Amino acid sequence: MEDYTPLDAPLFPIPDDPIFTAPQWQTLLSLADVVIPALTTARAGNNKALHQKTVSAAQYDTAIATLTAQIKSPDAAEIARQYLDENASSLPAFKESFRRAFALNVPQEAKNGLSLILTTLNTRAGSLLLTGSSTPLQDQSFDAREKVLCHWLTSRLPQLRQVARSVVLLSKKNWVLNSAIALQTIGFPRFPVYGKPAESFDYKFLQIPPGDNTEIIETDVVIVGSGCGGGVAAKNLAEAGHRVLVVEKAYHYPSSHFPMTQPSGLGHMFEQGGNAVSDDGYMAVLAGAAWGGGGTVNWGASLQTQNYVRQEWADTGLPFFTSHEFQKSMDNVCERMGVNTDIRQNFQNAVTLEGSRKLGYNAQVVPTNSGNSKEHYCGHCTLGCHTGGKQGPMASWLVDAAEAGAVFAEGFHAEKVLFDTVNGKKVASGVQGVWTSRDSHLGTSGKDVVRRKVIVRAKKVIVSCGSLQSPLLLLRSGIKNPHVGRHLYLHPVLLGGAVFEQETLPWEGNCLTTLVHDFENLDGHGHGTKLENVSMVPALFLATMPWLDGANFKRLAANLRHMAGFITLTKERDAGRVYPDPISGQPRIDYTISAFDRKHILEGLIASAKIAYVCGAKEFYTSYRDMRPFIRSTKTTPTDTTTNTPDQCINDAALQAWIKEFRKKSPLNAEHGTAASAHQMGTCRMSSSPKKGVVGPDGQVWGTQGLYVADASVFPSASGVNPMVTNMAITDWTSRKLAEELSRESLRKTGTARLYQPALVGCSLLANVYPPRTPFLFWTSDLSTMSSSDISQFNPRLSITTLVQSSLNIDLKIFLVQHQSQADSSRFKVAASQTKPAAMPSRRFHSKNRHGCAQCKKRKVKCDIVRPVCGNCARRKDKCHYVIGDSGIMWTPPPMPDPSEFSPPSNSSTITDTGSSDSSTSTEMVLSAGPIFHLSPNADLSLLEKFVSDVSPTLSNRPDTQKAWALDVGCRPIFQPNTSYLSHILIAISALHASLTQPALSLAEKHEYRDMGLYHQNAALTLIQPVLPSLKEDPGQIAGLFGAAWLIFLFNVSQPRPQQSDRKDWVIDEIVKLSELAKGVVVILTTYKASCASNEEEAKSLVMAGPLRGFFGHFLPWRHQTVSPSVRREKLPQSLQRILATIEADDSLSVLRKQLYHHAIDELALTVVAMAFNPKHPSIVFMWLISARREFVDLVSERDPFALRIFRAYGVWAARMDQVWFARRWGRSIVDSVDAALGGLPVMGESMG
């Protein structure tokens, strides 16, 4: 880290307006010097300047000695003197920082009021009225000005109290922001000591050339804002194949600028430069305004919404919040960000855990979105994460969106949402705004920028500007809902600061990794406070600490390196509102913490003091100015072992007296506290009707169409936890629903859907299933004209049946049946009305569909055909399932293709439709003769659709691998010849999946599906044989063959098996042979043979480097080959440890055989770890079979007792993966077979119970 220096990010220029006159500035700065004075002693004589505060010589000398001891520099004594001698106005940047805040962030009415008071103070009469002296304030002595400022803080005139509070707050903050000596004294480094810098994603942003006309941009979806909601929506919609444009008012800075300096970080990445406050001046509001929104500057806490809050929201008429879908969305977003609790605690978080333990409080570790990284030990993330370890939108969701084709525009200020009137309804049609480019140096501080008025035309508009800006954009757009901007919840906090004897360096390590929730329900209705730790960025934390006088504040600031910070995150009952400033249009915050909620905050502060006390804190300060700090007596230190005085813990009389004094102030006076908020919620709240809120359950603004809100402003009330995950989860669900709606809308309109040509996928897939003589003609176009970009836009989540039906304007039950022979026609039994050639279908789109779910058909209502649950069933909470067999066409499978047509090699084994093989070395599969199906070709089409939309997502939990299964395997038959075998196995696995996962099916329907799957598996096995010898000439077949081999294996894993003869262990033989497919030998050994791969490990590495790497790259054991066996064995379950101990003790075993056992156990240990780490990952089930050596598999086949016991342990763990639809049946089959094979031998393994 010593060689790393972040790049500068200069602040953009501000107008040359001086804001105040020279005399007014002189008066204002004279007050700032009272807050941050230079300290001197009586030894200086009578030449004391007006900015100097006199302290005793003893105090001064003690301060110098203390500071010199703690400053880590050879010039410590000189730095200490400069620190004490520095006053606010002596810093050139101090006045400029003041001017920037007043120019950009202070409301005009407040500036006018302050200007009037400053002018009054410059007159003798005004000074006499306001200060009691006719001398202008700036000419009065330091002691007189200090007395005036302290008097104003408690004045009866609210205007004077407001001025005094503002001067004190801004002076403290801007001094720490701009004083290099202060930061050097405190010890706050320019960049973190820990963490390795990492390059961030290289975003590309839309550039518009100069011009005077309005630029028009067209897209499917425009998202205003790039924060936690906007990022998730952009990813989901872009990956669904829609054109997405994300516009953001802020500018992107790569991680090479992180962490920024305090002034640059606040100026570039926070709303109003970090100067946003409530109208009463009592609440500082920190809201992210960066590329990535609040997720770029938050502390990474990733807490899921608690049950009582979800129930509270559901009780308002929003049952979604207590549904499985909401939980699934929360799990999805946590999984994408790598949320985990494997965290190294810094000092202050460790204090919270230890203090809670000693007091009996319930403390927990807060999960963080560190991408499963164990060493994201950085406390500077409020100023930007330089390691990329924090997986906020900038490092995760927006990256995914970019890779899926989303387009971004920075520097875009959205003025209003545009609407069209369609059939009397208000339909969002785009966004109007102003785009401002960067300057010629790619910065934002130059004057050679381009400004263009831009209109973005879009089918859907998503507002994701945050709870302060989203309601303002709706108001500017003419939304008249009275709830817009109201119900503002802020999770108000007061802060506590504990001073310890030892150095704590609180800016090191994760900011927030613990919380205490004993006080979260103080009223019995879910309102209360949580105790958390806080980011210790000096300017932000010290600005909230109490100011008693300048000398005390400097001493407190210098002690920051010995402090731990606490906050009382409060789920408040009473809300406020946000509204636009009438002049600047910026958000104004009308919010005062109610007396009800202030009582809860008081209890939180007292509990924080207790935690700090029992951990040895010397002092405890609060941001409540009217409460003195607690100073611990040196006689009550808990580590005092010399006096033999027992530790009284929190029963110490002095502490109890302080607590009693504090409680007498309940409810706390809002004016005496400096509160803060980092969470803003509720200003566009979700509701069950427009009378209660702004948006509906789908996130769409009431009274409009096509306008959505996707940020924390939709929360029905305060979330009670850090809102990031809740925000993302709501948006994850609403954006996925929006993606489905967009797909349906696109298909109803001609010429508007980019997926028009890929809509022919379904018909072409079905055509590939049948041999060339099959008498079917489809209404298809020439797919050879499709470009690779068209193919890449294919959306695997769309309904192929719907795509084909809508795009081709046909009813899939109408086919032109042409008979080549009487024998062929006998296979089809067609209704009388269909014996004649059908007329050319009308091009009019028929709203009635014949492919809806069973419930909609029964109720005789239109079904939207959304899989797996249609809209009607979702609203009615019915079980939704789709049935097949409704076409009226009776179909029997075509004859099994003759393998001789493909000239198979003489040494290959042909697998017949009865399950027998002409070679004992072939892989034995579960086969049966094809029955007569009461199913139509439309049923096959539906099953092909099912693989892409329903089955492929279950084969992995990674979106990229899911996409690989859907596109590289599911759609390969369209674009690659000679892959009919793949189409057959796709249908087979989809039929089996339907039979196992649709409980609403009757027993007959399940058997029908299974028989259909068996037929198509047989066909796939027959057709795959002739292809194998041609791999050397056509390596492009490898991916298709691997997919087929894997799915054949999966089919046989999941297929219910009838008991064969009297042998109860016959499944072992089948699994042993299936393991060849799991290893991919059908592909590997045929393609590479001994000339390319001398052993399995080399073959595996060749696969990893080849076209199959997309399927294997995420396998955990292959990432952890460097883990030594001894380390692996430490993680072994008890059952495997017992087996291993028995193997080690058996001297009759050869060394080679023991090595085989050890290798199998080591690989199984890694598989077990992988299962525990990610139980939702389907591929983990097969990792052990892939990595187990063939010699060990042979031992299993020979019924070696130790090999069987290891094999059984694998089955036990596989059976516990309940979230994978095929794993439990697979594991139980292994366990039952091994138990039968072992007979009376001791198992020495785990039980299934």
Q: Report how far apart, in Å, the C-alpha atoms of 939 and of each of 339, 942, 987, 992, 1089 are.
A: 41, 5, 9, 13, 40
Per-residue exposure over 1183-1194, b if at least 16 CB sit within 10 Å of its own CB, e if not: bbbbbbbeebbe
**Same domain, yes or no, for 345 and 227?**
no
Q: Determine the Cα–Cα distance for residues 548 and 154; give it in Å rounded to an integer.
A: 13
* Chain segment 6-15, per-residue pLDDT in tens: 999 998 888 8
DSSP letter at 624 equals B
**Same domain, yes or no, for 114 and 245?**
no
Q: Determine the Cα–Cα distance for residues 467 and 485; give it in Å rounded to an integer.
A: 8
pLDDT tier at 1114, thresholds 50, 70, 90: very low
Say what the pLDDT of residue 411 is: 95
* Chain segment 390-431, per-residue pLDDT in tens: 999 999 999 999 999 999 999 999 999 999 999 999 999 999
Say what the pLDDT of residue 144 is: 95
DSSP letter at 837 equals P
Asked whether residue 858 is assigned to any structural domain, the reply reads: no
* Residue bearing the bigger pLDDT, 584 or 1028: 584
* Residue bearing the bigger pLDDT, 971 or 285: 285
Q: Determine the Cα–Cα distance for residues 244 and 739; give it in Å rounded to an integer.
A: 11
Among 593-597, 820-824, 1089-1093, 1103-1107, name the one with the lowest average pLDDT.
Answer: 820-824
pLDDT tier at 653, thresholds 50, 70, 90: very high
**Same domain, yes or no, for 570 and 600?**
yes
Q: For residue 898, what are the contacts with CB-CB under 8 A and spacing of at least 6?
A: none
Q: Determine the Cα–Cα distance for residues 170 and 98; give it in Å rounded to an integer.
A: 8
* Residue bearing the bigger pLDDT, 332 or 1181: 332
CB 325 within 8 A of CB 333: no
Residue 528, helix vs strand vs coil: strand
Other C-beta atoms closer than 10 Å to the C-beta of 1133 total 17
* Chain segment 47-92, per-residue pLDDT in tens: 778 999 999 999 999 999 999 999 989 999 999 999 999 999 999 9
Over residues 374-379, the mean pLDDT reads 79
Number of domains in the chain: 5
DSSP letter at 261 equals P
Phi, psi of 303 (to 5 degrees): -95, 135
Say what the pLDDT of residue 1149 is: 82
Q: Is the model's pTM score more than 0.75?
A: no
pLDDT tier at 1055, thresholds 50, 70, 90: low
Torsion over CA: 691, 693, 694, 695 (sign): negative
Nearest to 632 by CA among 649, 613, 650, 648: 613
Helix axes 158-178, 92-104, angle to 10 degrees: 130
* Residue bearing the bigger pLDDT, 1035 or 450: 450
Say what the pLDDT of residue 957 is: 66
Tokens coding 785 = 């004209």
Say what the pLDDT of residue 757 is: 27
The amino acid present at 1036, given as its one-letter code, is G
User: Residue 890: which domain range?
Assistant: 755-850+886-1092
Other C-beta atoms closer than 10 Å to the C-beta of 344 total 14
Q: If residue 597 lies in a helix (H) or strand (E), which one and from where to where? A: helix 595-614
DSSP letter at 639 equals T
Asked whether residue 57 is assigned to any structural domain, the reply reads: yes
**Same domain, yes or no, for 416 and 371?**
no
Q: Determine the Cα–Cα distance for residues 252 and 232; give it in Å rounded to an integer.
A: 18
Say what the pLDDT of residue 1050 is: 73
1117 pLDDT higher than 60: no
| Secondary-structure percent of the chain, ordered helix, strand, coil, rounded to 5 | 45, 10, 40
Nearest to 225 by CA among 461, 451, 533: 461
Say what the pLDDT of residue 1204 is: 86
Asked whether residue 749 is assigned to any structural domain, the reply reads: no
* Residue bearing the bigger pLDDT, 1056 or 1213: 1213
Over residues 432-457, the mean pLDDT reads 83
Over residues 933-954, the mean pLDDT reads 68
Q: For residue 355, what are the contacts with CB-CB under 8 A and spacing of at least 6?
A: 361, 610, 611, 612, 614, 615
Share of the chain above pLDDT 90, in %: 51
**Same domain, yes or no, for 1029 and 1130?**
no
Say what the pLDDT of residue 1076 is: 54
Say what the pLDDT of residue 1083 is: 42
- Is the backbone peptide bond immediately before 895 cis, with ω within 30 degrees of 0? no
Q: What DSSP letter does each residue of 102-169 carry, written as one string?
A: HHHTS-HHHHHHHHHHHHHHTSHHHHHHHHSSSS-GGGS-HHHHHHHHHHHHT-S-HHHHHHHHHHHH
Say what the pLDDT of residue 445 is: 60
**Same domain, yes or no, for 1031 and 1156?**
no
Place of tokens 């069933």: 873
**Same domain, yes or no, for 315 and 325?**
yes
Asked whether residue 231 is assigned to any structural domain, the reply reads: yes
pLDDT tier at 1125, thresholds 50, 70, 90: low
The amino acid present at 1108, given as its one-letter code, is L
* Chain segment 744-783, per-residue pLDDT in tens: 776 655 333 333 222 223 333 333 333 332 222 222 223 2
The size of the chain, in residues, is 1249
Give the end-to-end CA distance of the chain in Å, rounded to a whole number. Answer: 52
Say what the pLDDT of residue 1189 is: 77
Rg of the chain, C-alpha, whole Å: 35
* Residue bearing the bigger pLDDT, 471 or 821: 471
pLDDT tier at 1014, thresholds 50, 70, 90: confident
* Residue bearing the bigger pLDDT, 572 or 900: 572
Over residues 572-577, the mean pLDDT reads 97
1116 pLDDT higher than 50: no
Q: Determine the Cα–Cα distance for residues 546 and 628; give it in Å rounded to an integer.
A: 9
How confident is the prediction for the chain on average, in pLDDT? 79
Say what the pLDDT of residue 48 is: 78
1098 pLDDT higher than 80: no
Asked whether residue 870 is assigned to any structural domain, the reply reads: no
Helix axes 1151-1173, 1190-1197, angle to 10 degrees: 100
Say what the pLDDT of residue 899 is: 36
Asked whether residue 862 is assigned to any structural domain, the reply reads: no
* Residue bearing the bigger pLDDT, 734 or 883: 734
Among 308-322, 709-723, 1002-1016, name the one with the lowest average pLDDT.
Answer: 1002-1016
363 pLDDT higher than 90: yes
* Chain segment 792-835, per-residue pLDDT in tens: 333 333 333 333 333 322 222 222 222 222 223 222 222 223 33
Per-residue exposure over 1063-1085, b if at least 16 CB sit within 10 Å of its own CB, e if not: eebbbbebbbbbbbbbbbbbbbb
Say what the pLDDT of residue 844 is: 36
**Same domain, yes or no, for 673 and 693?**
no
303 pLDDT higher than 90: yes
Q: Which of 507-521, 898-912, 1020-1034 has the highest mean pLDDT?
A: 507-521
Which three-class secondary structure string do you get for 654-694? HHHHHHHHHHCCCCCCHHHECEEECCCECCCCECCCCCCCC
The residue from 625, 648, 678 where one domain ends is 678
CB 583 within 8 A of CB 105: no
Phi, psi of 612 (to 5 degrees): -65, -40
Over residues 908-936, the mean pLDDT reads 32
Say what the pLDDT of residue 1087 is: 44
In the chain, the largest separation of any two C-alpha atoms, in whole Å, equals: 123
**Same domain, yes or no, for 934 and 1056?**
yes
**Same domain, yes or no, for 793 and 924?**
yes
The residue from 1038, 1060, 1092 where one domain ends is 1092
Asked whether residue 768 is assigned to any structural domain, the reply reads: yes
**Same domain, yes or no, for 1124 and 1148?**
yes
Say what the pLDDT of residue 397 is: 96
**Same domain, yes or no, for 517 and 547?**
yes
Say what the pLDDT of residue 1035 is: 52
1240 pLDDT higher than 50: no
Q: Determine the Cα–Cα distance for residues 165 and 284; give it in Å rounded to an integer.
A: 12
Is residue 462 packed enough to be buried (19+ CB in 10 Å), middle (13-18) or exposed (0-12)?
buried
Say what the pLDDT of residue 499 is: 97
Q: Determine the Cα–Cα distance for residues 1160 and 1145; give it in Å rounded to an integer.
A: 17
pLDDT tier at 232, thresholds 50, 70, 90: very high
* Residue bearing the bigger pLDDT, 1092 or 145: 145
* Chain segment 831-874, per-residue pLDDT in tens: 223 333 333 333 333 344 556 777 888 888 888 766 557 778 87
Q: Determine the Cα–Cα distance for residues 764 and 781; give it in Å rounded to an integer.
A: 9
Asked whether residue 10 is assigned to any structural domain, the reply reads: no
CATH number, domain with residue 560: 3.30.560
* Chain segment 185-228, per-residue pLDDT in tens: 999 998 888 888 999 999 999 999 889 999 999 999 999 999 99
Say what the pLDDT of residue 64 is: 95
Helix axes 22-35, 158-178, angle to 10 degrees: 80
Tokens coding 366 = 């807060």
* Chain segment 254-268, per-residue pLDDT in tens: 999 999 999 999 999
1234 pLDDT higher than 80: yes
pLDDT tier at 938, thresholds 50, 70, 90: low
Nearest to 236 by CA among 407, 394, 398, 463: 398
